[in-house]
Amino acid sequence: MQIDEILVSAFEKNFPGNDFSAVRALPATDPRFGDYQCNDALKLAKALRANPREIAARVAETLKETGAGVFDKVEVAGPGFLNLVVSPASISSSLAALASSPDCGIPQSGRGKRIVIDYSSPNAAKQMHIGHIRSTVIGNAIDRIFRALGYDVIADNHLGDWGTQFGILIKGYRELLTDGERENLTVANLEKCYVLSAAKAKEEDGVWKDACRKELVKLQQGDAENLALWRRFIDISISEFERMYSMLGIHFDTYRGESYYNDMMPGVVEKLVKAGRAVESEGALVVKFDDERLGVAIVRKSDGGYNYTTSDLACVESRVAEYSPERIIYVTDDRQQLHFRQFFAIAEEMGVKTKLVHVPFGLMSFQGKAISTREGNLIRLDDLLSEAKRRSYDIVKERGGDEKLAEAIGFGAVKYADLSHDPATAIDFSWEKALALDGNSGPYLQYAYARVCSLLKKAEEAGAAGVGDGSFAASTPAEKRLALAILEFPQAVVRAAEAYKPSILADWLFQTAQLYSAFYQTSPILKEESDTRAKRLNLCRLFGEVLRKGLSLLGIETPERI
């Protein structure tokens, strides 16, 4: 709605020459205060050197003229609040505008801008486990949200596909796998052979460890056989990862792992040395920071090898040169915060102008238990998704639901369980919560959508789907609350993007679905006379559309029948 603009010009008219760009109408916390409240008269009193109540009164007088047709009532309350009651007709016309705009009113503010999102990024030759869910699911939601805003998004999977583990793997592959395993090589076999080989590399005599190191050196020097093996390990890993991603409806534009930047690392270090930024320390090359909290970053180890920092520095230069993105977003767990702070600081010094953003997320525990590699209670992602499907199938089969529906619900439940929380917080995954039909869950929202579809179908069958005059119900308190919430949809998407928190959108979805349910329970639809019925049906249909769009931005499917 244009409410903010009307407010801003009313302030400007009374107090010309001041900056009112921050003036906002906020949804009223209590319906007794109207639909919206504005408290900017209080905030601006000092700057305007006027009494807040007087400011509010003057603005209110103006609003009665300029906002005629939009506001049914403008009131000054308490020390200087403006309480606004919006007219049903103007809400209806805003809803009509939202309904007819192509993307449910999502502003195309990203047009012409490119961004890179680096997410999921598992290590190759290992199976994905539940520890990989968060980066994958949060990253993908951010990816979808930015695309919806019109950004040209490059989703890049920064695989961990280079490093010492490949010497261990190659040696293990040659000597610890059977012919059959080598022929039908799977990621599970690679993982097994890594574990066995790494254990042998710990043996006292050091013979195995030496042999692993030799394989690694051969690989690094471009030995054809080792390179071919490495390539095969990577290809098998990617196709296994893609099996997971396709279940989750996720697509990456590129899979440029760390190896892609291998040849660029010496150049980066050379640059840092020339600029006097990298200095020698105990045989290694390090970057020191003025800011003590940043500590020291190693860019070349004492054995001459490069590390994670060097590789990310090479990577950022390459991305900037190739794509000229407006920003690059990295989604990883919060234990990598220091790494990103260090590497962003160095990148800036090296002249990288692109905005670099780290979106850190908290740890996930599973059914109240910490997930730990040590204790071996790592649940494979594959198994988790199968279980999600199985559990959902148990729920839907009685109603005639099939496996496809079970996948939509099960996978949606897993995603929403994560996305409904602020990424920065630690979360606990539990099947009960994730699949609860009556709580803040994926299935609850999918069910709300299916109910709208079934209502519209019933209306159609009764010959009552009529759009009427195209207007929307926005008169009763329940209608109004739902209608105003729907109008907030574009802003919810914008705020989710600005904060890199899909949870903002998830909150909006849940709250709006609850308002829908309150409306539905108190407002007869099909039994109503044709005019009211059409207006209410129009409101339901639009709610269904924004719900579907919103869930799609979280990567959650919306089956029409459950």
Identity of the residue numbered 330: Y
Nearer to ligand ARG, 164 or 386 (CB): 164
Nearer Cβ to ligand ARG, position 39 or 165? 165
- Residue 375 Cβ, how far from ligand ARG at the closest point, in Å? 19
Q: Judging by beta carbons within 10 Å of its beta carbon (0-12, 13-18, 19+), is residue 202 exposed, middle or buried?
A: exposed
Of 136 and 532, nearer to ligand ARG (C-beta) is 136
Q: Are 415 and 443 in contact (CB under 8 A)?
A: no
Minimum CB separation from ligand ARG for residue 341, in Å? 13
> What single-letter amino acid sits at 39?
N
Contact yes or no for 159/91 (Cβ under 8 A)? no
CB of 47 to ligand ARG, least distance (A): 44
Q: Tell me the helices (H) and strands (E) count for the chain, helix number first.
A: 21, 14
Question: Which residue, 256 or 300, is less far from ligand ARG as judged by CB?
Answer: 256
DSSP class per residue in 35-97? SEEE-HHHHHHHHHTS-HHHHHHHHHHHHHHHTBTTEEEEEEETTTEEEEEE-HHHHHHHHHH
160/138 Cα distance (integer angstroms): 19
The nearest distance, CB 385 to ligand ARG, in angstroms, is 19
Query: Measured from the CB atom, is 127 or 332 closer to ligand ARG?
Result: 332
Taking CA atoms, 429 is separated from 110, 391, 440, 520, in Å, by 34, 15, 13, 31
In the complex, what is the shortest distance from the CB of residue 122 to ligand ARG, in angstroms, rounded to a whole number? Answer: 6
131 versus 490: smaller Cβ distance to ligand ARG: 131
Find the shortest distance in angstroms from Cβ 198 to ligand ARG.
17
Give the footprint of ligand ARG on this chain (CB under 6 A). Answer: 118, 121-123, 158, 160, 312, 315, 330, 332
CB 129 to ligand ARG: min, Å? 11
334, 360 in Cβ contact below 8 A? yes
DSSP for residue 380: B
First and final C-alpha spacing in the chain: 34
Extended strands (E) in 276-337: 278-281, 284-288, 296-300, 327-333
Calculate the dihedral angle through the C-alpha atoms of 244, 403, 506, 97, rounding to the nearest 10 degrees. 110
Smallest gap from Cβ 168 to ligand ARG, in A, equals: 17
User: Is the Cβ–Cβ distance between 10 and 67 less than 8 Å?
Assistant: yes
Q: Are 133 and 177 in contact (CB under 8 A)?
A: no
Which residue lies nearer to ligand ARG by CB, 235 or 394? Answer: 235
How near is the Cβ of 376 to ligand ARG at its closest, in Å? 19
Quote the CA–CA distance of 239 and 379 in Å, as a whole number: 20
Which residue's CB is nearer to ligand ARG, number 56 or number 381? 381
Minimum CB–partner distance for residue 500 and ligand ARG (Å): 15
* For ligand ARG, the closer CB: 118 or 215: 118
Closest CA to 161 of 261, 257, 228, 253: 257
Residue 378 vs 453, nearer CB to ligand ARG: 378
The least distance separating ligand ARG from the CB of residue 445, rounded to whole angstroms, comes to 30
- Kind and range of the H or E element at 315? helix 308-323
| Distance, CA of 131 to CA of 126 (rounded, Å) | 12
Q: Longest Cα pair distance anywhere in the chain, in angstroms?
A: 90
Residue whose CB is less far from ligand ARG, 123 or 307: 123
